[in-house]
Every structure is written in structure tokens, then in C-alpha cells.
């Protein structure tokens, strides 16, 4: 039971390297990357009423988005895009 689990965990830990290789291999015309505002619209009112960017300042969003990245188990890249959007809109 523990052996396959451990192997899985190790494989995941090695993922960033594998992903880097993938990137090099992607064709020249990748699909349009999903934007921060779209990701915000997709995720941020799934579990609770939407929290508006202007409700908090940039530093607060940095903390809350880390909290949400963990709580909603969001992909790191998506969390970063959403944070960028929130901080831009928060404005200060």
C-alpha cells in the first residue's frame, strides 16, 4: 500500500522538471491561455458568493489567495494569474 503511494508522491515531486520539457515540445501555435479574469469568474463563486477585488488591498489579496489556493486546491499557475488580476483591480 505504501510503496505505490510513495512512488506516486515522488513522481509528483519530479513533475516541474517534466513539465519544463513539455513546454519546449509544445507546437508554435498553442491555444489561447486562460486569463486571470476568466479563472476568477470560473472559481471564485463556486463555494461562496464572489469576493470583489476592491474589497481588499494588494497585500491582503496575497494572503487570501494563498489561503484559497490551498483551500480550493487550485493549480499554482492559475492561483498566480487570479492574484495578478485581483491585485491589478484592487489598485492599492
- The option from other proteins, ligand HEC, none interacting with 31 (CB < 5 to 8 A, set by class) reads other proteins
The C-alpha atoms of residue 13 and residue 57 are separated, in whole angstroms, by: 33
Among the listed ranges 5-13, 14-22, 30-38, 47-55, the one in contact with ligand HEC (CB under 6 A) is 47-55
CA atoms within 13 A on the CB side of 29: 0
Site for ligand HEC in 12-41 (CB under 6 A): 40
Q: How far apart are the first and last CA of the chain?
A: 50
Look at the block and give the residue holding cell 500500500: 1
3-state helix, strand, coil split of the chain in percent (to 5) is 70, 0, 30
Q: Which of 23, 31, 32, 46 binds ligand HEC (CB under 6 A)?
A: 46
Q: Which residues bind other proteins (CB under 8 A)?
A: 1, 5, 8-9, 12-13, 15-16, 19, 30-34, 38-39, 41-42, 45-52, 58-60, 62-64, 66-67, 69-71, 73-78
Amino acid at each position: 500500500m505504501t510503496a505505490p503511494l510513495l512512488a506516486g508522491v515522488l513522481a509528483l515531486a519530479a513533475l516541474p522538471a517534466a513539465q519544463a520539457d513539455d513546454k519546449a515540445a509544445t507546437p508554435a501555435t498553442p491555444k489561447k491561455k486562460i486569463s486571470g479574469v476568466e479563472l476568477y469568474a470560473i472559481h471564485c463563486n463556486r463555494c461562496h458568493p464572489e469576493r470583489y477585488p476592491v474589497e481588499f488591498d494588494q497585500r491582503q489579496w496575497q494572503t487570501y489567495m494563498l489561503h484559497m489556493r490551498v483551500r480550493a486546491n487550485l493549480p499554482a499557475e492559475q492561483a498566480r494569474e487570479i492574484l495578478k488580476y485581483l491585485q491589478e483591480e484592487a489598485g492599492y
